[in-house]
Amino acid sequence: MTVPRPRGMTPDADWFGTASEALPDDADQSVLVGRIWDPSVDGPSPVTVRDGEVIDISHRFPTVRDICELPDPAAIVAGLDGPRVGDFDEILANTGAASRGRTRPWLLAPVDLQVLKAAGVTFPISMIERVIEERALGDLLLASDIRRRMLADVGVDLHSLVPGSAEADRLKSLLVAEGMWSQYLEVGIGPDAEIFTKGQILSAVGTAVPVGVLAASTWNNPEPEVTLIVQSSGRIVGATLGNDVNLRDVEGRSALLLPLAKDNNASCALGPLIRLFDERFGMDRVRELEVSLEVRGVDGFLLEAVSEMTRMSRDPEELVRQLIGPHHRYPDGAALMLGTMFAPIQDRDRPGEGFTHKVDDVVRISCPALGTLVNRVWHAEECEPWHFGVRDLMGNLVRRGLL
């Protein structure tokens, strides 16, 4: 399969990195699952990665959803065997190749039937940036001045503020009185979190492929996030990395345009693999993770930052409880992106204009415990179209005798 490219762009052969970078630092002690496209069956297969080898486990579990619904997914996957598909480094290389080999497998996003959800405004820094977007109505130049004035006016340590607390309610009253209240502050420090649908089932892309921003957008950025894998029961069974690509100019015009800002072709990236929870890796580790972001442009621009999960204003398990429970069920589970503290304001071209993507930016989101998710930024209109839906998946599994 040849992936289309924007005119005038030439790919670097190794832009998506190496297998050792893609995998967790302790991959030999991790239980990892993902998905590949297998040309021999013309469809996707769940796999586990063990000792650098990719092992097909579709004969036992036709979907990743089936694995994640098990009572103890990590213990069962760790004991599974199956046909060897190939080396992980070879499959990664084919995934990112400018002309992908049609007869060899490539990586997909590691989830399938899980609904794609995201939590917003879960870090105080990003909360302030959302308010600035709203007040600037998507205008980059106006945002710089508003940022300076607003941070001076708020004048409180938002990091220590507990959403829904009496202190948060007092701050809300103060801001209302001063005409500074915002719907973003409501979900940032109020009792109810912002949890929205990031994309449709099966629409996520994986590592080593493009992510998309609309060609008309003039202010956009990556949102590197830890993503929880949640059973239909609400139990968290694993985690991966995600890029909740966001169009800041669109959302800034109106929060009602959130679907347009968030859900576009190739605008949700997950991967490379799911690390299942076991005795070595669970929620205590997730709460302490640090996620690194690197954006490198063909213009020589470099942006680097680190996000600490300890700085979240809401606990990840609280977000899951707001996502799923007696009030709302997801029979096939969910992938929940936990939000980001990154809202890049580093000037790229001219002073005061801040950051926005350019075509062919390479975005690296990494965490030692989860590996590295790498994507190249293209216009959403020119990314590979999403065409394989739920009906196609079910039909393919029936033809293979797996359903």
Written as six digits, the tokens of 186 are 């409501």
Q: Among 60-64, 225-229, 248-252, 359-363, which stretch is predicted with the lowest mean pLDDT?
A: 248-252
Asked if the structure places residue 313 within a domain, the reply is yes
Q: Compute CA distances 396 → 83, 191, 347, whole Å.
A: 19, 44, 48
If you average pLDDT over residues 367-384, what whole number do you get? 97
> Which SS3 state, helix, strand or coil, does residue 367 take?
strand
Is position 287 within any domain?
yes
Of the residues 140, 159, 189, which one is the last residue of a structural domain?
A: 189
| Alpha carbon distance 400, 252 (integer Å) | 47
The band of 349, judged by pLDDT with boundaries at 50, 70 and 90, is confident
Query: Of 136, 159, 189, which one is at a domain's C-terminal end?
Result: 189
Return all residues near 64 (Cβ < 8 A) that are at least 6 apart. Answer: 33, 34, 35, 46, 110, 111, 112, 113, 114, 274
CA dihedral 374, 379, 381, 382 (to 10 degrees): -70
Q: What is the pLDDT of residue 8?
A: 39
Cα-to-chain-centroid distance, residue 79 = 29
- The pLDDT value recorded for residue 339 is 86
- Are 38 and 158 found together in one domain? no
98 and 135 in one domain?
Answer: no
pLDDT at 31: 98
Contact 373, 271 (CB under 8 A): yes
Q: What is the residue-wise DSSP string for 233-257?
A: TS-EEEEEEEEE-EEHHHHHH-GGG
What's the DSSP call for residue 77? H
Mean pLDDT of 197-217: 97
For the chain, the maximum distance between any two Cα atoms, rounded to a whole number of angstroms, is: 65
User: Does one domain contain both 305 and 383?
Assistant: yes
Q: What local confidence, expressed as pLDDT, does residue 364 receive?
A: 98
CA distance 216 to 202: 25
Distance (Å, whole) CA 176 – CA 151: 16
pLDDT band of residue 12 (cuts 50, 70, 90) is low
Whether the model clears a pTM of 0.85, i.e. scores above it, the answer is yes
Pair (280, 394) in one structural domain: yes
CA gap 188, 131 in Å, rounded: 10
Q: Are 288 and 328 within one domain?
A: yes
Q: What CATH number does residue 303 fall under?
A: 3.90.850.10
Instruction: State how far the Cα of 333 lies from the Cα of 335, in Å rounded to an integer.
Output: 7
Q: At what angle do helices 140-154 and 124-136 cross, to 10 degrees?
A: 130
CB of 355 within 8 A of CB of 189?
Answer: no
The mean pLDDT of 110-131, rounded to a whole number, is 78
35-78 pLDDT, tens digit per residue, is 999 999 999 999 999 999 999 999 999 999 999 999 999 999 99
Q: Are residues 78 and 129 in the same domain?
A: no
DSSP state of 279: S
Question: Do residue 301 and residue 156 come from a single domain?
Answer: no
Residue 217's pLDDT is: 95
352 and 319 housed in the same domain = yes
Q: What is the mean pLDDT of the chain?
A: 88
pLDDT (0 to 100) of residue 265: 97
Structure tokens at 37: 């496209």
**Residue 3 confidence class, pLDDT cut points 50, 70, 90:** very low
The answer to whether residues 341 and 236 belong to one domain is: yes
DSSP class of residue 145? H
Establish if 95 belongs to a structural domain.
yes
* Of 24-38, 137-151, 228-242, 296-310, the least confident: 137-151
pLDDT higher than 70, residue 269: yes
Q: pLDDT for 275-329, tens place per residue? A: 999 999 999 999 999 999 999 999 999 999 888 888 887 899 999 999 999 999 9
Q: Does 331 map to a domain? A: yes
Query: CA-CA distance, 90 to 96, in Å (whole number)?
Result: 10
| pLDDT score, position 251 | 84
Helix (H, G, I), strand (E, B) or coil at 64: helix
In-domain check, residue 14 = no
Cis peptide bond N-terminal to 272, omega within 30 = yes
The string over 320-337, giving b where at least 16 C-beta atoms fall within 10 Å of a residue's C-beta and e elsewhere, is bebbbeeeeebebbbbbb
Note whether residue 19 is domain-resident. Answer: no
Would you place residue 255 in the very low, low, confident or very high pLDDT band (cuts 50, 70, 90)? Answer: confident
> Is residue 7 domain-resident?
no
4-18, 145-159, 388-402: the lowest-pLDDT one: 145-159
Do 265 and 332 have their domain in common? yes
Task: Return the DSSP state at 292.
Answer: E
Residues 133 and 241 in one domain: no
pLDDT at 119 over 60: yes
Domain that holds residue 97: 25-120+194-400
Task: Pick the closest to residue 371 from 221, 226, 211 (CA basis).
Answer: 226
Residues 148 and 285 occupy one common structural domain: no
Among 170, 189, 208, residue at a domain's last position: 189
